[in-house]
């Protein structure tokens, strides 16, 4: 099977990964790929929707790199003690304990506060004499960042420093900067958990420290650090790109923007789901490892192989979605994979959806003349294959 070398066309892929997925799907649902120039051995990527859905919950695909044997020299740190890097029964235990506190009721209880934060940010935007600026700096970053920090109980976190760490973790500019960001964030979280253990509050992080189930089981200090890492990074980075990608899609499709403005009550929920399907923030899953040979769509992935599932590729599969390259906020829901599927389905999906709906609705209500900045220049695409979006979104309002 030929190898698809995405690293050789990195800038083109960053700008339009969907053209790559379309060509790959046309040739089959699974491919050997090279994502980064420093890869020694090609990995595998699944791009078909049905195949992706099965793979996301397949017991033969492990998330625990510590037992896969692929990284014998890798050093385990506390931030790795999270649900995303574990398999059952360890994953089952972690998710059960975290789910006791990360409840739909707690998330729903934040609705008024999310609206309040959004309104404050929109007030600041409206007060700008230049009537324009970078929407990511003004709204898409500070809204989910403030929400997740307040939820976890870390309101004094240096936002600029955290933004650098988070960007380097999910869209690294180099292997060295990625490693440094992981280490620095890990050091910060170790101290944060120590402080929270001494002086707990009513926040989610304090609740995770003290939570236990009927058998008395509780999270270890490393597991709390791992969960804090996962919630802080995943809890804001995906929502930043949900908001910014969603606004970009609306501005690029004025008829859809007009329809949404004409019926915000009836269309906002479906609009956010279509934003997630059409140009979701996460392009593909993190690593999975084949425990045994695995037949995917007639192609056998060998035991020991590294496997990625392309959520974005699957959500543009024409066998699942009619006219998948068309942005249609009235599209009937058909089960997109933007939040994953199965065991590792995103725990924070309800919060991300709430923030996306509030941010985009409030933005459109406040600024009826929202438009792209004609002097903005070409988009500044995020580097890397994991996330898709822009680092800046200059607009006028």
DSSP collapsed to 3 states, 348-396: CHHHHHHHHHHHHHHHHHHCCCCEECCCCCCCCECCCCCECCECCCEEE
Q: How far apart are the first and last CA of the chain?
A: 50
Residue 120 to residues 76, 126, 147, 164, 363, Cα–Cα distance (Å): 41, 10, 13, 24, 12
CA distance 188 to 186: 5
CA distance 103 to 105: 5
pLDDT digits (tens, 9 = 90+) for 295-347: 999 999 999 999 999 999 999 999 999 999 999 999 987 899 999 999 999 98
- Pull the structure tokens for residue 213: 């189930």
For the chain, what are the domain ranges? 3-367
What would you report as the CA-atom Rg of the chain, rounded to the nearest whole angstrom?
A: 21
CA distance 117 to 170: 25
- DSSP string of 95-161? HHHHHTTS-HHHHHTTHHHHHHHHHHHHHHHHT-TT-EEEHIIIIITHHHHHHHHHHHT-TTS-HHH
Please check whether residue 360 is in contact with residue 271, taking contact to mean a CB–CB distance below 8 angstroms. yes
Going by C-beta distance under 8 Å and a sequence separation of 6 or more, which residues neighbour residue 308?
33, 35, 43, 44, 45, 46, 284, 285, 286, 287, 288
CA distance 204 to 83: 16
CA distance 189 to 24: 40
* 33, β-bridge pairs: 4, 43
Element of type H or E holding 290? strand 288-290
- Pull the structure tokens for residue 44: 């595998």
CA distance 391 to 380: 6
- Tell me the pLDDT of the chain (397 aa) as tens digits: 789 999 999 999 999 999 999 999 999 999 999 998 888 889 999 999 999 999 999 999 999 977 765 554 555 677 888 888 899 999 999 898 888 887 878 888 899 999 999 999 999 999 999 999 999 999 999 999 999 888 888 867 777 788 888 888 888 888 889 889 888 988 888 888 888 889 888 888 898 888 877 777 888 888 888 888 888 888 788 899 999 999 999 999 999 999 999 999 999 999 999 999 999 999 999 999 999 999 999 999 999 999 999 999 999 999 999 999 999 999 987 899 999 999 999 988 999 999 999 999 999 999 999 999 999 999 999 998 999 999 999 999 9
Please check whether residue 152 is in contact with residue 209, taking contact to mean a CB–CB distance below 8 angstroms. no
The helix/strand count (H/E) of the chain reads as: 17, 11
Entry pTM: 0.92
Please check whether residue 316 is in contact with residue 284, taking contact to mean a CB–CB distance below 8 angstroms. no
Q: What is the pLDDT of residue 70?
A: 56
CA angle 208, 200, 145 (to 5 degrees): 65
Secondary structure class of 215 (helix, strand, coil): coil
3-367: CATH topology: Cytochrome p450 (1.10.630)
- Pull the structure tokens for residue 54: 């099965």
């Amino acid at each position: 099977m030929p190898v698809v070398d995405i690293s050789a066309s990195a800038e083109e892929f960053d700008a339009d990964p969907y053209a790559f997925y379309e060509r790959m799907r046309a040739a089959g649902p699974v491919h050997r790929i090279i994502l980064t120039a420093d890869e020694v051995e090609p990995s595998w990527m699944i791009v078909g929707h049905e195949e992706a859905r099965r793979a996301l919950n397949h017991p033969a695909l492990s998330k625990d790199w510590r037992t896969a044997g692929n990284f014998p020299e890798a050093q385990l740190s506390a931030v790795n003690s999270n649900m995303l890097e574990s398999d059952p029964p360890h994953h089952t235990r972690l998710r059960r304990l975290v789910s006791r506190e990360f409840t739909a009721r707690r998330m729903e209880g934040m609705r008024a506060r999310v609206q309040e934060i959004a309104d404050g940010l929109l007030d600041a935007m409206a007060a700008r004499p230049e009537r324009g600026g970078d929407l990511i700096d003004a709204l898409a970053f500070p809204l989910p960042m403030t929400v997740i920090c307040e939820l976890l109980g870390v309101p004094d976190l240096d936002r600029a420093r955290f933004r650098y760490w988070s960007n380097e973790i999910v869209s690294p500019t180099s292997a060295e900067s990625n490693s440094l960001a992981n280490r620095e964030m890990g050091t910060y979280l170790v101290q944060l958990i120590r402080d929270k253990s001494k002086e707990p509050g009513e926040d989610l992080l304090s609740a995770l420290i003290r939570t236990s189930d009927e058998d008395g089981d509780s999270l270890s200090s490393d597991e709390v650090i791992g969960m804090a890492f996962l919630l802080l990074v995943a809890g804001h980075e995906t929502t930043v790109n949900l908001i910014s990608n969603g606004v970009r899609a609306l501005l690029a499709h004025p008829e859809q923007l007009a329809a949404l403005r004409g019926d915000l009550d009836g269309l906002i929920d479906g609009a956010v789901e279509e934003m997630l399907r059409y140009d979701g923030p996460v392009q593909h899953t993190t690593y999975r490892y084949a425990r045994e040979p695995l037949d995917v769509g007639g192609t056998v992935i060998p035991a020991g192989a590294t496997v990625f599932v392309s959520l974005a590729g699957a959500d543009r599969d024409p066998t699942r979605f009619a006219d998948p390259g068309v942005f249609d906020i009235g599209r009937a829901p058909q089960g997109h994979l933007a939040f994953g599927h199965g065991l590792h389905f995103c725990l924070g999906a309800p919060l991300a959806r709430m923030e996306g709906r509030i941010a985009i609705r409030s933005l459109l209500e406040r600024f009826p003349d929202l438009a792209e900045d004609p002097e903005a220049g070409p988009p500044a695409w995020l580097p890397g294959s994991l996330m898709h979006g822009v680092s800046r979104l200059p607009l006028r309002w």
